Chains A and B, each alone.
Chain A
Amino acid sequence: MVEILNIFIMLMLVITALAMVSSRHLFVTVMLSGIFSLLIAASFLLLDAADVALTEAAVGAGISTVLFLGALALMDVEETTRGVRRIRMVSLIVVAVTTIFIVHATFYMPAFGDINAPIHQHVAPWYIQHVPIHMDIPNIVTGILGSYRGYDTLGEVFVVFTAGIGVLSILGDPIKNRQHRPAHNRGLRHYLIPRLVGRMLIPFIILFGLYVQFHGEYSPGGGFQAGALVAAAIILYALLEGEDKALQVIPMRVLYIMMASGALLYGGVGVAALLMGGNFLDYSVLASTPVAGQQWGILLIEMGVGLTVTGVLITIFHAFAARSNL
């Protein structure tokens, strides 16, 4: 049954990808990319990678679609094809050759789900064996991402932070760019039903976000997914009530502080471990026992991740929205 579902999803992915490439209408492409993300999230779920699936659904299908739409509001929705024809042949050849190489190599890879494949034999069993001993938490993925490879996760938080800085630097401060429009014309304020239904949803989205944030050690989730969910709630509020209302709730200055303090909280936990005699990001020294230290460390860094991700996503949305007429 799972195989059939897998094949079905893979087929749909290929079809969606082809449709995205061939579509000349950017709005259609954006919608298709949302569908693509949702499909691939389903595929991750079938592979038992629930954490990744949750991230992909929240960020790929949710937030990025909204941001793409925000960008589309600033430009033409029709793709220009001027001067593309000549390049198209070259790119087709490059893509074809690359595909042939990849397909060729797949014949020599370990079979799908093979228990003896190197990825199941080397570090993975060690993680499965040691997460309960070192951290005493049920979600192994959180243990790997938060502690064993916590330095990579710190890097990813800084990638998100850099993205926020980049958008602000290129598009400019949302406050300065804001278009002045009469109050009754903002958001969906005069559409009663979407507004009422939307407002009812917001607290539940935030509650679910907080659950995902603080339950990440026990079930799929963590700072990245929670940040995306909370940001989605605020963006929904901005869409319903108008962007300026959302900026009153969380002003730009607060967003700056959120972006910076999340990254600094994560780094600060690492530095605290350094000062208390451990290596950078060695949470074991943070509390009386190593296991408690690990749990505290993971809890704190996940809060840092959540803060930065929420701050950056809302900031990026405002930067786009201020330039268009949302």
Chain B
Amino acid sequence: MNLIEHLPVLQVILPLLSAPFCILMRGHMLAWAIAVVASGAAFAVSLSAASIVADGATLTYAVGGWAAPYGIALEVDAFSALMTMIISGASLLALIAGMASIRQQLPEEKQSLFFAAWLLAMAGLLGISVAADAFNIFVFMEISSLASYVIIAAGPHRKALGAVFKYLAMGTIGATFYLIGVGLIYLMTGTLNLDDIALRVANVSDPHPVLLAAGFITIGLALKAAVFPLHVWMPAAYNYAPHVVSAFIAACATKVSLYVLFRFDFTVFQPNLSGHEFQFGHFMMPLALIGILFGAIVAALAKDLKRLLAWSSVSQIGYIVLGASMTSEAGMTSAIIHMFNHALAKGGGFLIAMGAALYYTTTRFSNLAGLGKEHPWLSGAFVVIGCSLIGVPGTAGFISKWMLVNAALEQGGLGIFIIAVVVFSSLLAVIYVWKVVELFYFEPRPEGASSNAVVVKTPEKLLFMMVVMLVAAANVWFGIFPGEPLALASQAASMLTGGAL
């Protein structure tokens, strides 16, 4: 058995088949260990797949031995490899860092169910990333969505249930819209394999239903990706989720929906529907620009660290969509590299919120003042990650902004306007990051503020600080040496836009 050949399917089934073992375990620590090992294995698989596809190769896999379009095919190329790295990496780091936080927020008897759902969420997202079949994407979307609702609702916050219900209703509408779109495409082409659809959609008897399918798929996935103005479910869900879940989900979940949207639109619709690039670009760009500003403004007004980070995500998702809406290779590269860089920065941000909650019970600003004096390493890491969110040179965030500005310059007069919006929103980002820095360093710890909600054991604390430092260092490392992720991103962008231009 040649393992390399089976990498695409191992990527999914390692975490997927580990999930049932979690609920059979009596001990919650054992379930945690299974989740960590499965995430680590998935991360290792994604790294080895990435090293193979970095030069433009594609790993394909026929599940069940049935060739596409009759069977289901899996495909790993540069874009999917980058996504699988983000997903499994985020899961691994959050699980290792989150030991104490999970103990603080979840009763012991619920933890094995929680870890099973966590693995299912990760396996679902990974399954979407390697799928090359429109319906298979839907199946794994169902797994990942259901499991995400479960882990978001698992926390002690009563408001989490309301937030999840909203997420569930909107997520279901999004998934249903996607399914209606896929149904229309199947009706017109008779196939579900993405490559086969791209071939056959050019010869359909009438483009109207396909255009409707494009509309349904775009709106459905934009809803799941929390693209402005369809973001309303997102801030509350991120805010009230258990801290460890926020760090994992915020790093990867919405990005996977954007991944499907880009893959579908750039490889199926844009090469085959005349004028669709124009429609896609002009539909998405205004939404992206408004989202960038609106998210940043609300984040600047937030009074809670997690709320601030969640609203900042609305703005940052705008950057990704903005890059893609230029429908150029440079724009797409900036979008894809920002998926990676934002995962680093936002995942890191939520890890720090988790740490703050560990020491001071909540993440409300009134309760966090003076963190800098008592926990200098934690607040130091926040400064680094905040810089990456703003896009200060020398951090990962700068690379994506730089690519975005370069891509905008290709757009002529419109580009100047885009750059103005990006600069202005970066200033807003300075405001919201500075608010937290000021709080950490320049305000005294209030009298009688609650602290140390839970006894943090030394090994847990060491692991947590190690992960936080690692993520902060990665934000700097990939700002100075962006080589590998940038190579994957530009490879992915040239594949996606190659068909369209």
Contact = CB atoms under 8 A, between A and B. Distances in A.
Nearest to B66: A148
Interface stretch (B13-21, B248-256, B327-335): B13-21
B13 A271 contact: yes
Contact of A152 (B72, B117, B187): B72
Interface in B100-145: 109-110, 113-114, 116-117, 120, 123, 127, 135-136, 139-140, 142-143
Interface core residue of A102, A123, A162 (most chain B CB under 10 Å):
A162
A130 B191 CA distance: 17
A281 to B, nearest CB: 4
Interface string A129-160: 01000000000000000011111100110110
Contacts of A130: 70
B147 interface: yes
Contact of B24 (A169, A260, A282): A260
B63 A168 contact: no
Interface string B179-193: 010001011111100
A279 B65 contact: yes
B149 interface: yes
Interface in A62-102: 101-102
B205 A105 contact: no
Interface in A258-286: 259-261, 263-264, 267-268, 270-271, 274-275, 277-284
Nearest to A169: B113
A107 B209 CA distance: 9
Nearest to B144: A162
A158 B143 contact: yes
Given A152-B135, A169-B117, A108 B13 contact: no
Contacts of B211: 105
Interface in A160-210: 161-163, 165-166, 168-170, 173
Contacts of B212: 101-102, 104-105
Contact of A256 (B6, B23, B71): B23
A268 B21 CA distance: 12
Contact of A165 (B116, B136, B161, B186): B116
Given A158-B16, A169-B117, A280-B13, A151 B136 contact: yes
A295 B23 CA distance: 30
Contacts of A147: 64, 66
A151 B65 CA distance: 11
Interface string B135-169: 11001101100110110011000000100000000
A278 B13 CA distance: 15
Contact of A118 (B24, B72, B116, B188): B188
B73 to A, nearest CB: 10
Interface string B1-44: 10000100100010011011101100000000000000000000
Contacts of A274: 1, 6, 9
A259 B6 contact: no
A257 interface: yes
B376 interface: no
Interface in A220-271: 256-257, 259-261, 263-264, 267-268, 270-271
A126 to B, nearest CB: 6
B13 A169 contact: no
A151 B161 CA distance: 32
A123 B66 CA distance: 12
A75 to B, nearest CB: 13
B189 A118 contact: yes
B150 A151 contact: no
A120 interface: yes
B70 A155 contact: no
A281 B209 contact: no
Nearest to A158: B143
Majority DSSP secondary structure for residues of B touching A: helix
Given A122-B190, A279-B61, A284-B65, A105 B184 contact: yes
Contact of B17 (A107, A150, A267): A267
Nearest to A130: B70
Contacts, number: 168
B457 interface: no
Contacts of B184: 105
B61 to A, nearest CB: 7
Contacts of A163: 146
Contacts of B6: 274, 279-280
A27 interface: no
A104 B208 contact: yes
B70 A118 contact: no
B206 interface: yes
Contacts of A44: none
Given A110-B187, A123-B191, A101 B153 contact: no
A161 B124 CA distance: 13
A267 B120 contact: no
A214 interface: no
Contacts of B21: 260, 264
A121 interface: yes
Contacts of B24: 256-257, 260
A155 B23 contact: no
A247 B139 CA distance: 32
Contacts of A161: 19-20, 120
Given A148-B70, A149-B71, A150-B63, A165 B135 contact: no
A296 interface: no
Contacts of B16: 158, 267
Contacts of A120: 190
B69 interface: yes
Contacts of B446: none
28 contacts: A102-B212, A105-B184, A105-B211, A108-B205, A109-B187, A119-B187, A119-B190, A120-B190, A122-B191, A123-B70, A127-B70, A147-B64, A147-B66, A148-B64, A148-B70, A149-B135, A156-B139, A158-B123, A158-B143, A161-B20, A161-B120, A166-B149, A170-B150, A259-B23, A274-B9, A279-B9, A281-B63, A284-B65
Please name the 4 residue pairs, one residue from A and one from B, whose CB atoms are nearest each other, closest first. A122-B190, A118-B190, A155-B139, A260-B20
Interface of A: 101-102, 104-105, 107-110, 117-124, 126-127, 130, 147-152, 155-156, 158-159, 161-163, 165-166, 168-170, 173, 256-257, 259-261, 263-264, 267-268, 270-271, 274-275, 277-284
Interface of B: 1, 6, 9, 13, 16-17, 19-21, 23-24, 61-66, 69-72, 109-110, 113-114, 116-117, 120, 123, 127, 135-136, 139-140, 142-143, 146-147, 149-150, 153-154, 161, 180, 184, 186-191, 200, 204-206, 208-209, 211-212, 215
Given A102-B180, A158-B120, 20 more contacts: A107-B208, A109-B188, A109-B206, A118-B189, A119-B187, A122-B200, A126-B70, A130-B70, A148-B64, A150-B63, A152-B135, A155-B136, A159-B139, A161-B19, A169-B150, A259-B20, A278-B65, A279-B62, A280-B13, A283-B64
